[in-house]
Amino acid sequence: MTRFLLLATLLATPALAQDVTRHRIPNSDFPIAAAVEVPAGLTMVHLSGAVPPRADREASATSPTAWGGDTRAQTAGVLRSIEASLRRLDLTMGDVVRMQVFLVGDPARGGRMDFDGFMEAYREHFGTPAQPNLPVRSVMQVAGLVNPGWLVEIEVSAVRGR
């Protein structure tokens, strides 16, 4: 009887809760995982790079203003777009296990990427009480993206349970 109850409990528990292991960075509260283990049998879903949605149709399409403005605002738009794409696939931000972030140097910051602005928007989606799951993540400054008005592009990979 005990084996039956254990099996019934495992089947009733969402696969992600029982299978994906997220290792925190030791002695750190920085909101990324040091490592994520995804066991065999779960489906990896890779989303193409997402860029900011058009925010101002009056502004030139090659201006950061057209895409939300600064890095923080553009990141917020990109993350909302990613969240909507995940939702269409019956996934959530909590299912994201890997993220690659490409930041263009902000002209208003002397050509340096605005990591703090990126982090402000990122922290609204990851490491919160409502969504504590953290992905592994890389952030890099790139020379440019396809549209010179874009300051941010983000790729994510998520895991779908059984």
Q: Is the pLDDT of residue 152 over 90?
A: yes
pTM: 0.87
Task: Report the CATH number at residue 93.
Answer: 3.30.1330.40
**pLDDT at residue 7 in the model:** 39
Q: Residue 161 — pLDDT band, cuts 50, 70, 90? A: confident
Query: Could you list the residue range(s) of the whole structural domain that residue 146 is in?
Result: 2-160
> How far are the Cα atoms of 8, 11, 15, 49, 149 from residue 4, in angstroms, in the given order?
6, 11, 18, 44, 58
Above pLDDT 70, what percent of the chain?
88
CA distance readout (Å), 156 to 41, 43, 49, 107, 161: 19, 14, 7, 26, 17
Domain count within the chain: 1
Average pLDDT over residues 45-50: 98
- Six token digits for residue 113: 């990427």
